[in-house]
Each structure stands twice: as structure tokens, then as C-alpha cells.
């Protein structure tokens, strides 16, 4: 009963993607996210998908492993799709579509037939606005296409962050965040403490998931059913898992605080075992990758 994790799983390999400086990777992820939200066509989104798959291939990260990280957000993806695909005013939408077909609808009503510019494709323009199923409840074919678009966008966002953590160790990622935030020291922002908090959070994610898995296995051996029964029954089945999980979380946090205090931890002035340097290859990755992603986001 393994729990898939989109964050915190570093895969140690010697690939061009792994060798890129962590600061450059963070920059490229930010530009990639910008490109995802800037593009408004299927072509742009498919180009972003192709780029991500290419980077997974270069980094020798199995696509199956990467897509496992989408399991925790399946509910969000399903809700996003259904929120766009279903409607409770199917009869009104069908009437507006009929008026538009006879030329009697207003310009504003006709505009509702294509609510998003990514749907301005000849293949989609002949689809009905809504299909009534039960009374005013029905489905929107155009809404289904729009929902699939948003689902793919969210999935690519999660996969991009997964690729970052798969190819970058937690220590390197923390050092990169600390160096990127270093200008904030002028304003007396505790940059080292923020980086340490980020490191601890990333480290606790797989530990917490591993502990939750052990608790679920123990409760399953005692006859607990997590995927059976109604909502109330499932909530009751999860209570024996969540209570000890949170207790252990607070206990581990307290032990960690005592360990750091006993070792006289001070964030400012700490030294690094290895100093990362941005090479010419990293600059090539940053320039070429940024130009490619900005082109996808702006022109597609």
C-alpha cells in the first residue's frame, strides 16, 4: 500500500538534467509555470507536454514514476473537469443555442457559445452548447474540452515540480533557495532560517508518508476498510490513522527542536561543505530553456 509522493523523492543519477545547477532549475521551473498559464491554445499546452516528456527522458526519470505523483491530486483534477463539464441550466443553454442558430440571439449570447479562446477551433464550433440529461441538469461538450485543458495544465504544473525534486537533492535545493534569497539579507530577512525550514519540510514529507503507510497497514491488519462504506464510515476508519500520525509529528518536531538547540544551531554564518558554481553549460540551459518556454507561452 505505497503512498505516491510528488515531492521529496530524489533519484540519484548522472544525467545532464541532474548536473544543472539548482538555481537554474528553479528559474526554469518558474518560467515553465509562466508558460503554462500564458498559453491559451491546445498547441501551446501540447508543446509544454512535449518539453516535459523530453526532460524526463534526458533525466532518465521513468514516466510512470513521474505520473505516480498525480494520484494525490486526482480529486482536484476530477473536480476541475466536472465543474466545467456539468451544468444545471442545460435547457436555457440549449434555447440560447437554438436562437443563435436562427440568428435571433444577441451578440452576448452568441459569445457564450465559445467561452474560452482555446475552443476557437473549427472542429469544436459545431458542438452543442449543452445536452440536457435530467431536467435542467446536463453536460456541456465545450465545457468538457475546457475541463480537459485545465486538467492537463494542472497536471503539467505538478509534473514540473516533481521533475525538479526527482533531479535535485534536498540539500542542493535548499542551498539554491538560500542563495536566491540572499539579497533579502539587506532587509534583515532570516534567509538561512527560511532555507532550513524548507529543508525540514521536504525531509518530513517522505517520513510522514512512510509512517502513514505503516499505520494504514497496521489498521488494515486489524480489519479496517479505508475504501468501503459511506463517507462517515470512511472518516471513522481514518481517525485511528490520523490521530497517532499527528501525535508522532508533534513529537518528532519537539525532538528535532531539542536536538538543534542542544547543538547550538544558529542560522546565520553557517558554512557549506560544497559550493555550487554556475558553469557555462548552466547558462546555456538557462538561456535556451527560457527562450523556448517564453516562446511557447507568448506565441502559442
Cell of 58: 534526458
pLDDT category at 106 given cuts 50, 70, 90 is very low
Sequence ranges of the domains in the chain: 16-80+146-190+268-299
pLDDT of 97 reads: 52
pLDDT at position 50 over 90:
yes
What pLDDT was estimated at residue 95? 53
Ranges 19-33, 58-72, 243-257: which has the least confidence: 58-72
Q: Is the pLDDT at 284 greater than 80, yes or no?
A: yes
- Rounded (10°) angle between helices 42-58 and 141-167: 20
| Residue 281: predicted pLDDT | 92
Question: pLDDT value at position 153?
Answer: 92
pLDDT at residue 32 above 90? yes
Query: For 72-91, how does the pLDDT look when each residue is reduced to its tens digit (9 = 90+)?
Result: 788 889 898 888 888 777 66
pLDDT in tens, 214-255: 888 888 888 887 777 777 887 888 888 888 888 988 898 899
Query: Tens digit of pLDDT for each residue in 181-208?
Result: 888 888 888 888 888 887 787 778 777 8
- At residue 25's C-alpha, the angle toward residues 280 and 46, to 5°, is 110
Q: Can you tell me the mean pLDDT for 97-103?
A: 50
* pLDDT for position 111: 42
In three-state form (DSSP H/G/I as H, E/B as E, the rest C), the secondary structure along the chain is: CCCCCCCCCCCCCCCHHHHCCHHHHHHHHHHHHHHHHHCCCHHHHHHHHHHHHHHHHHCCCCHHHHHHHHHHHHHHHHHHHHHHHEECCHHHHHHHHHHHHHCCCCHHHHHCCCCCHHHCCHHHHCCCCCEEEECCEEECHHHHHHHHHHHHHHHHHHHHHHHHHHHCCHHHHHHHHHHHCHHHHHHCCCHHHHHHHHHHHHHHHHHHHHHHHHHHHHHHHCCCCCCCCCHHHHHHHHHHHHHHHHHHHHHHHHHHHHHHHHCCCCCCCCCCCCCCCCCHHHHHHHHHHHHHHHHHHHHC
The torsion angles phi and psi of 8, rounded to 5 degrees, stand at 85, 0
> Which pLDDT score, from 0 to 100, does residue 123 have?
57
Q: Is residue 24 predicted with pLDDT exceeding 90?
A: yes
Mean residue pLDDT of the chain comes to 79
Please report the pLDDT score of residue 137 as a whole number: 74
**What value does the mean pLDDT take over residues 35-56?**
90
Residue-level pLDDT at 206? 73
Report which of 24, 116, 44, 58 is spatially closest to residue 294, judged by C-alpha positions.
44
Q: What is the reported pLDDT for 65?
A: 82
Amino acid at each position: 500500500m505505497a503512498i505516491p509522493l510528488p515531492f521529496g523523492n530524489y533519484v540519484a543519477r548522472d544525467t545532464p538534467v541532474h548536473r544543472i545547477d539548482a538555481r537554474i532549475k528553479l528559474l526554469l521551473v518558474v518560467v515553465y509555470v509562466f508558460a503554462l498559464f500564458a498559453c491559451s491554445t491546445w498547441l501551446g499546452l501540447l508543446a509544454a507536454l512535449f518539453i516535459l516528456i523530453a526532460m524526463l527522458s534526458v533525466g532518465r526519470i521513468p514516466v510512470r514514476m513521474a505520473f505516480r505523483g498525480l494520484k494525490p491530486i486526482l480529486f482536484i483534477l476530477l473536480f476541475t473537469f466536472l465543474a466545467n463539464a456539468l451544468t444545471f441550466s442545460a435547457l436555457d443553454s440549449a434555447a440560447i443555442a437554438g436562437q443563435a442558430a436562427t440568428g435571433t440571439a444577441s451578440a452576448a449570447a452568441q459569445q457564450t457559445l465559445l467561452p474560452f479562446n482555446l475552443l476557437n477551433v473549427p472542429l469544436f464550433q459545431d458542438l452543442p452548447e449543452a445536452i440536457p440529461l435530467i431536467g435542467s441538469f446536463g453536460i456541456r461538450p465545450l465545457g468538457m474540452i475546457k475541463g480537459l485543458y485545465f486538467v492537463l495544465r494542472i497536471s503539467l504544473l505538478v509534473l514540473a515540480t516533481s521533475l525538479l525534486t526527482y533531479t535535485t537533492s534536498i540539500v542542493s535545493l535548499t542551498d539554491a533557495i538560500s542563495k536566491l534569497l540572499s539579497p533579502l539579507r539587506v532587509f534583515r530577512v532570516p534567509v538561512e532560517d527560511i532555507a532550513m525550514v524548507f529543508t525540514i519540510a521536504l525531509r518530513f514529507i517522505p517520513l510522514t508518508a512512510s509512517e502513514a503507510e505503516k499505520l494504514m497497514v497496521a489498521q488494515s491488519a486489524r480489519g479496517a476498510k479505508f475504501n468501503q462504506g459511506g463517507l462517515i464510515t470512511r472518516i471513522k476508519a481514518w481517525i485511528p490513522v490520523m490521530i497517532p500520525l499527528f501525535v508522532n509529528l508533534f513529537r518528532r518536531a519537539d525532538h528535532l527542536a531539542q536536538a538543534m538547540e542542544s547543538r547550538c544551531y544558529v542560522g546565520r554564518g553557517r558554512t557549506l561543505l560544497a559550493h555550487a558554481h554556475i558553469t557555462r553549460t548552466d547558462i546555456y540551459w538557462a538561456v535556451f530553456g527560457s527562450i523556448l518556454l517564453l516562446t511557447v507561452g507568448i506565441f502559442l
